[in-house]
């Protein structure tokens, strides 16, 4: 249906699907994409979805058609695959080392590449690679506004890195980038933290402006904070990732309903031998063993069975604790699991089967999977 690197075999009928298999519900996916696109349009934000969640070119095309200005990527592979979905990419990960820089510089000429970074060392490496490749590269200075993961620690540091970027012959200083990963909380709890974030950002923007280096781009945003993005003064661009599929964590935080979760893993009950539990064929190599980043137990939600706890994961075994339900599954019964953290589960799949309810409509390769 849409561009992919490798032709897929014909999609089997739903009943014939071998499990465990990842399913993407197309109407839900399209609804999620439309919702974020509409919010960004209404508030005048450029929307640059993060491809790390889906790693699928067909999904990137869908986001671009809905109005995304380009894509955010975290790895060189994501950049190489997503280059085909739009000529405007932001690498939101410090570009360190020649292996990565060489691959970035080898992206097709028509790609307008920007990179976010937080140190003079990274900046110098990028400047040298861009000069050698005779390629113009945009630079956003990453600021730490509370996540404490990466990002310059003070407005003065941001000015230093921005000045180096502005002075480098093949680099174009563009502005600021931040990721508010520390605000993964329910929207109603975010009012004060967002105000504090906005105030911290104002200090960075003010210092850059005073230094004659105003930030033309201020790139932020996340699934958790999406609907409060307009409360962040000066924000120009929103990078959401998880919202494309949603997951058990975003549902538990009240950021969506379970009916918005577009990605599930179809699994088969393969053992009921141990009393009080059942075993499915989806384990940590399919679902990932990510904790729920909200209140609740277990490694995923069983669609239609809220009383079941997916209490343990071995590599190919998922343990269903049945103590909170009267449901007693038969051997061979199939269930759908919403993973705690969808991005990591997607990364474990070679392909996803695209469905409308229980009708198979396509298969998509997870073309940008892998860690490089």
First-to-last CA distance in the chain?
Answer: 27
Quote helix, strand, coil % in the chain, to nearest 5.
Answer: 35, 25, 40
The residue (of 180 and 266) whose beta carbon lies closer to ligand PLP is 180
Q: Does 363 bind ligand PLP (CB under 6 A)?
A: no
Q: Does 341 bind ligand PLP (CB under 6 A)?
A: no
Determine if 318 is a binding residue for ligand PLP (CB under 6 A): no
By CB under 6 A, residue 94 contacts ligand PLP: no
Cα–chain center distance at 360? 25
Binder among 175, 241, 300, 367 for ligand PLP (CB under 6 A) = 241
C-alpha closest to that of 195 among 154, 225, 150, 155: 225
Rg (CA), the chain: 22
Which of 184, 313, 318 has its CA nearest to residue 242?
184
Least separation, in Å, of the C-beta of 243 and ligand PLP?
6
Q: Should residue 119 be labelled a site residue for ligand PLP when binding is judged by CB under 6 A?
A: no
Q: Of 295 and 315, which has the nearer Cβ to ligand PLP?
A: 295
Q: Buried (b) or exposed (e) across 310-324, using 16+ Cβ within 10 A?
A: bebbeeeebbbbbee
Query: DSSP character for 292?
Result: P
**Total length of the chain:** 372
Cβ atoms of residues 153 and 201 within 8 Å: no
- Measure the CA–CA gap between 236 and 140, rounded to whole angstroms: 13
The residue range among 20-28, 121-129, 233-241, 317-325 that interacts with ligand PLP, by the rule CB under 6 A, is 233-241
Q: 69 or 211: whose CB is closer to ligand PLP? A: 69
Q: Which contacts of 5-9 are long-range, i.e. CB under 8 A and separated by 24 or more positions?
A: 5/57, 5/81, 5/365, 5/367, 6/365, 6/367, 8/351, 8/363, 8/364, 8/365, 9/363
Query: What x-and-dash track marks residues 58-87 binding ligand PLP by CB under 6 A?
Result: --------------x---------------
CA-CA distance, 174 to 165, in Å (whole number)? 9
| CB of 277 vs ligand PLP, minimal distance in Å | 32
Q: In the set 239, 246, 248, 305, which binds ligand PLP (CB under 6 A)? A: 239
Interface residues for ligand PLP in 243-262 (CB under 6 A)? 243
Using CB under 6 A as the binding rule, whether residue 240 contacts ligand PLP is answered as yes
- 229 near ligand PLP (CB under 6 A): no
**Cα–Cα distance for residue pair 316/283, rounded to 1 Å:** 4
Nearest CB to ligand PLP, comparing residues 278 and 366: 366
Q: In this chain, which residue has its C-beta nearest to ligand PLP?
A: 241
To the nearest whole angstrom, how small is the minimum distance from the Cβ of residue 171 to ligand PLP?
20
User: Residue 241 or residue 339: which is nearer to ligand PLP going by CB?
Assistant: 241
| Cβ nearer to ligand PLP, comparing 224 with 261 | 224
Residues that bind ligand PLP (CB under 6 A): 50, 53, 72, 92, 179, 222-224, 239-243
């Amino acid at each position: 249906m849409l561009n992919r690197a490798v032709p897929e075999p014909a999609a089997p009928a739903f009943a014939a699907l071998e499990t465990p298999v990842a399913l993407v519900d197309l109407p839900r996916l399209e609804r999620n994409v439309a919702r974020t696109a509409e919010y960004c349009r209404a508030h005048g934000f450029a929307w640059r979805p993060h491809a790390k969640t889906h790693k699928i070119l067909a999904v990137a095309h869908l986001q671009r058609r809905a109005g995304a200005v380009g894509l955010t990527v975290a790895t060189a592979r994501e950049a190489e695959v997503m280059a085909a979905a739009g000529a405007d990419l932001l690498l939101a990960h410090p570009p360190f080392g020649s292996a990565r820089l060489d691959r970035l510089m080898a992206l097709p000429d028509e790609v307008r590449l920007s990179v976010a970074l937080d140190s003079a060392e990274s900046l110098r490496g990028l400047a040298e690679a861009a000069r050698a490749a005779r390629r113009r590269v945009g630079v956003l200075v990453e600021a730490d506004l509370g996540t404490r993961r990466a990002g310059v620690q003070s407005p003065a540091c941001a000015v230093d890195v921005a000045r180096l970027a502005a002075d480098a012959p093949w680099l174009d200083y563009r502005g600021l980038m931040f990721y508010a990963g520390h605000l993964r909380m329910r929207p109603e709890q975010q009012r004060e933290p967002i105000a504090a974030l906005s105030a911290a950002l104002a200090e960075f923007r003010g210092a850059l402006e005073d230094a004659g280096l105003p930030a033309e781009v201020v790139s932020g945003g996340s699934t958790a904070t999406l609907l409060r993005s307009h409360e962040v003064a000066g924000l120009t661009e929103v990078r959401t990732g998880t919202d494309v599929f949603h997951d058990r964590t975003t549902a538990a935080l009240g950021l969506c309903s379970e009916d918005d979760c577009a990605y599930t893993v179809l699994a088969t009950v393969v053992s009921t031998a141990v009393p009080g539990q059942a075993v499915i064929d989806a384990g940590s190599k399919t679902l990932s063993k990510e904790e729920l980043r909200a209140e609740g137990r277990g490694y995923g939600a069983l669609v239609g069975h809220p009383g079941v706890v997916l209490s343990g994961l071995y590599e190919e075994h998922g343990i269903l604790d049945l103590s909170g339900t009267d449901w007693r599954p038969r051997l061979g019964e199939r269930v759908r699991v919403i993973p705690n953290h969808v991005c990591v589960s997607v990364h474990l799949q070679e392909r996803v089967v695209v469905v409308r309810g229980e009708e198979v409509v396509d298969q998509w390769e997870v073309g940008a999977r892998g860690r490089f």
